[in-house]
Homo-oligomer: A and B are copies of this chain.
């Protein structure tokens, strides 16, 4: 009997009764790339585990969490739109950086049935910067966009010991709430809110954490040419790889940092959080090799 040829690089799993389940809860979820990435990672580190799409909106979240803690072969999951903020108060334990970010993107089902949450969108961003030789400790950072991903990056920068953090956010309510959380969890880090019309001086890293750049005709969230010539211009948008912001910065000889690093460097954090030994496999390089 002829079976259809399995497609390359989309995640080949050998599932049996002892397979542990991982996945992503979200809505929409059909575009999810992580199923393909994590299947290769699990295969490479020899884990009997599968990464699944769990498709559902706000009505699913509380009952799903109740169920997931009781499903013994569910190891954990990541959380995407629209659940990242809503899930936080529903968990049993939440890390300091996730509380400071006000959102969670990574949940582990503990052996006792409780659920622990972390936020590693920002930690992945910081790990990506550091891996490219960009030291964060003591640096001056301008963060443009202080919503979900911006809040996560801000918390991770504070945790990494940033010297000074300036944030720009048009939504004043959101900005105030975010600054309040940061000052509560990281009182020693100098944080201030500034307007994009008055670009700061002496900045080492300027980060676009707004959605501007997803579409080709979006305006820039800030003009990289107003910054010091040695400032690194960083992007959180993964697709397109080269946003208009990065294009303009690179065209004028500025140093740039691409958005895909943020996800690449989250993979080792996922494995750590789930207690899966990477067995020396370079999972960042492997993740990056998967289309």
A residues near B (Cβ < 8 Å) are: 1, 3-4, 6-7, 10-19, 21, 27, 29-33, 35-36, 39-40, 43-44, 46, 50-56, 59-60, 63-64, 66-68, 70-73, 281, 285-286, 289
Contacts and interface: CB of A to CB of B under 8 A. Distances in A.
A19 B35 contact: yes
A182 B96 CA distance: 59
B71 A60 contact: yes
20 contacts: A3-B40, A3-B44, A7-B14, A11-B13, A11-B16, A15-B52, A15-B53, A17-B31, A17-B33, A18-B30, A18-B53, A21-B54, A29-B73, A54-B73, A56-B70, A60-B67, A60-B71, A63-B66, A63-B70, A67-B68
Contacts of A68: 67
The 7 nearest A-B residue pairs measured at CB: A17-B32, A67-B67, A55-B73, A60-B70, A17-B30, A63-B67, A55-B72
B16 A14 contact: no
- Among A14, A30, A64, A73, residue most surrounded by chain B Cβ atoms (within 10 Å): A14
Given A12-B13, A17-B35, 10 more contacts: A1-B289, A6-B12, A6-B43, A10-B15, A12-B12, A15-B52, A17-B29, A17-B53, A18-B53, A50-B52
A204 B33 CA distance: 57
B44 A16 contact: no
A44 B51 CA distance: 22
Contacts of A40: 3
A144 B56 CA distance: 46
Nearest to A27: B72
Contacts of A17: 29-33, 35, 53
